[in-house]
Structure 1
Amino acid sequence: MNADVTALSVEPPPDGAPAILTYFPDAARSVAEMVSTVLRELENAAIDLFPTWLPGAEGIDGPGGAGVRAARALAMRLASTSHHFGPFLADLAELSLAAPPRGTTRSGPEATRFGAEARATRFGAEARAAGLARVLASSFGRREAAILMQVPEGLTPFEEEVFVAGCEWLADRGGFGVWLTGPPLATVDRVEAMTLRVPGEADGLGREAPPLPEGGGPLRYPAVAGIPHPASKAERALEAALASCSWARGRAWNQTYQSHALANPIRVDLLWQEERVVVEIDGHEHRASLKFAADRHRDVQLQLDGYAVLRFTNDQVLTDTEAVAGQVRRFLHGRRTPTFEGSQRV
């Protein structure tokens, strides 16, 4: 069973579960190389998620002026009342402010600072791993973080040993939960194995090759309630278009919805609760059979509960954002307009 299937079966995770990040590694030549690559991707995720892990930093929009000093002060204050390590958190906050938004680049001195100097760290791998585990867990309001690691196909015995040893390092030194999924290990026998069955696997759906995460990187992570997913260009583009529109009031990004107490909770991309309108923005992974079937099941359940579901692809949003926003506006207007009988349409 691949990592996409496993992650889908626990999204959103139950109360008390760790924050779950999914990682698709390549074969590494050494444990140090694997650890370095994973830590770099985890650091990128923490930067993307800023300022969710630093309360009070929401109004700081860049490194200019007093921005860096304010962010570092907030980080040290948070560390004084929590389990975070202050100097690491302050450096990560400064790095986050200097980083360009995902999918963009900086030019001039800022590019040099972010691309070379800002990547240098005065902390060793162990301190970085432990610090990132705490930061990523707190980003999602969880006490711990876990990495769902896809076992690469076709590993040689040496590469398999490196892979497992790297996972053990992340668990022992960083404090991450590390779960392996995918093809079974052929030579390393010290990892406890269990079988997890999810709906659709019996039909072969769980054996599909997992699509790459949006943006081409090996790491994916769940959305944070209340904001567009930082790794989704489409969600960020649509929010930018809606931010100045008075008709878009009442919207909420990435909310968890549960039909009834015994139903599995689901996460919706964009919700207007009062009008009972859900907007979903689909990447290429939604064309895979398991995800497609899960989407149809979600749509039916939402519709039975009185919600309308509008679906757009990433390409639609990115190539003609105004047209997508216009369609949403017209639909919301229809839901808000009283019927001829004088009652509110729902």
Structure 2
Amino acid sequence: MAGEIVTQDSIGRVVLNATPGKVLVLAGLDGAMLGRVIDQLEAKPDSRRALFTRLSRAQTTDAAVQQLTEQLADTAQRLWPVWFTDISFAGCRSDVLGQLAASAIVRRAAADINDLQMTWAEAATKLALDQRRPRVRNVPAEVEVAQLALAISRHGLALVIDAEQACADSNPAAIVYTLEWIAQLTQCVVVALFRALPPHQPPFDRILYDARVLVVEEGLDQTEIPAPSTDTVWLAPWMGSPHPLSETEQRPEKALRGDQELARLFDCNQFIETVRGSRPKVDFVWTQGRMVIELDGYGSHGNRAAFMYDRHRDYELMLSGYTVLRLANDEVAQDVGKAVEKIRDIVQLCRGRIK
């Protein structure tokens, strides 16, 4: 099968607009590459989100389903106290009054969200209030997966699953049946990723009817990697706040929020229009002071292409009047106070320029 040349926007449409209820097999792109491309899309607030994950060794469908359910529950726990895309439980505590407040929020949510089961949601929020994973007992597996998917994204979730290694290491029939089970019983979009299309023979022939081989168009940048390592789940696209699955973004945002001078200056994960017509997505921006903060990890920026692209991005941002401060992920992790002091120094410099 010849490769289909795709743009960044068309990759997003292929994944986020795929048909629920069936498995879409994509080859040619790995999860890390696809994740960082989709994370650069300017999605609407009510758009479907993609959750990138992978299945590891599993000899039975039940084992693979349990694996996926654990990943969904872990993701929902990390998103807490914001569930169902934009419903906040931040004001609720684990005492009786807090549980009553959470129950009232759930009732309102159930009136607005199709297929949300209030019984599950009340039990799951109670677990979350107790800082426990939302694994509700005695719930059928298909119900649990569907409800956890709603907690992660009320507007629909595309499960993008790197299945190739699991198929190679374990029982490929169990993996294929798991993909079909998820698609048919949960009504999630299911995208199965393979580096190359598997052979058109059992068990793969069951899911290869609409398979596509994607080739990224020449010139599309693939080096700006906002996501963490490829062995963790990643939710994309994300805008407007620190990514809930990224400790690297959460740590400086919390430190800035607690700083009297810097607390209200910066917005996170925003697109900036440059004079060159590009719209790079930056980690933090102080719009009035025209200052950008970028967080860099060696794993995602430690190659020649990434090094060159970072400098070109900085050039376009500086040409558009922005001062760019780059902080290493390791520096933020080891001494966030020192990172904040660097930010403060550049803020003072920018303030001197706008007086």
- TM superposition score normalised by structure 1: 0.78
In structure 2, what is the equivalent of residue 326 of structure 1?
341
Distance 1:291 1:26 in 2: 29
In structure 1, what is the equivalent of residue 77 of structure 2?
47
Distance 1:59 1:65 in 2: 13
In structure 1, what is the equivalent of residue 174 of structure 2?
162
In structure 1, what is the equivalent of residue 214 of structure 2?
196
Q: Structure 1 40/276 Cα, relative in aligned 2: closer, same or farther at 3 Å?
A: same
Q: Structure 1 120/197 Cα, relative in aligned 2: closer, same or farther at 3 Å?
A: same
Task: Compute the displacement of 1:331 (Å).
Answer: 0.1
In structure 2, what is the equivalent of residue 110 of structure 1?
none
Task: Compute the displacement of 1:23 (Å).
Answer: 0.7
Matches within 5 A, 1:248-327: 248=262, 249-259=264-274, 263=278, 265-287=279-301, 289=303, 295-327=310-342
Task: Compute the displacement of 1:326 (Å).
Answer: 0.2
Match of 1:3 among 4, 10, 31: 31
Native 8 Å contact 1:223 1:229 kept in 2: no
1:97-120 per-residue CA deviation (whole Å, 9 max, x = no partner) reads: 222xxxxxxxxxxxxxx37xx644
Native 8 Å contact 2:51 2:158 kept in 1: yes
Matches within 5 A, 1:104-123: 114=132, 119-123=135-139
Instruction: Tell me whether 1:59 sits opposite 2:91 in the alignment.
Output: yes
RMSD: 3.2
Distance 1:202 1:326 in 2: 36
Distance 2:288 2:318 in 1: 15
Instruction: Tell me whether 1:70 sits opposite 2:101 in the alignment.
Output: yes
In structure 2, what is the equivalent of residue 222 of structure 1?
236
Aligned-partner SS, 2:159: strand
1:218-276 per-residue CA deviation (whole Å, 9 max, x = no partner) reads: 3122374343222222322212222222221221122234448974x543221211112
Q: Which runs of 5+ in 2 are unaligned?
A: 1-28
Distance 1:300 1:24 in 2: 36
Task: Compute the displacement of 1:182 (Å).
Answer: 3.0
Q: Structure 1 21/56 Cα, relative in aligned 2: closer, same or farther at 3 Å?
A: closer
In structure 1, what is the equivalent of residue 7 of structure 2?
none
Task: Compute the displacement of 1:307 (Å).
Answer: 2.0
Task: Compute the displacement of 1:149 (Å).
Answer: 1.4
Task: Compute the displacement of 1:137 (Å).
Answer: 1.9
Distance 1:258 1:169 in 2: 43
In structure 2, what is the equivalent of residue 341 of structure 1?
none
Aligned-partner SS, 1:227: coil
Distance 2:288 2:48 in 1: 31
Distance 1:293 1:135 in 2: 39
1:102-154 per-residue CA deviation (whole Å, 9 max, x = no partner) reads: xxxxxxxxxxxx37xx644232111112212222223xxxx211012113337
Q: Structure 1 95/224 Cα, relative in aligned 2: closer, same or farther at 3 Å?
A: farther
Aligned-partner SS, 1:92: helix
Distance 1:27 1:298 in 2: 40
Which stretch of the first structure deviates more once superposed, 14-23 or 82-91? Answer: 14-23
Distance 1:157 1:26 in 2: 8
Matches within 5 A, 1:11-30: 11-13=39-41, 15=43, 18-30=48-60
In structure 1, what is the equivalent of residue 253 of structure 2?
239
Matches within 5 A, 1:130-169: 130-138=146-154, 143-153=155-165, 155-156=167-168, 159-169=171-181
Native 8 Å contact 2:41 2:237 kept in 1: no
In structure 1, what is the equivalent of residue 193 of structure 2?
181
* Percent of residue pairs identical: 24
Report which of the two has the higher share of strand.
2
- TM superposition score normalised by structure 2: 0.77
For 2:52, the aligned partner's letter is T
Task: Compute the displacement of 1:27 (Å).
Answer: 2.3
In structure 2, what is the equivalent of residue 82 of structure 1?
113
Distance 1:291 1:73 in 2: 48
1:277-307 per-residue CA deviation (whole Å, 9 max, x = no partner) reads: 1212233441364655654454343333222
Distance 1:21 1:318 in 2: 25
Aligned-partner SS, 1:10: helix
Which stretch of the first structure deviates more once superposed, 294-303 or 82-91? Answer: 294-303
Q: Structure 1 173/154 Cα, relative in aligned 2: closer, same or farther at 3 Å?
A: closer
In structure 2, what is the equivalent of residue 108 of structure 1?
none
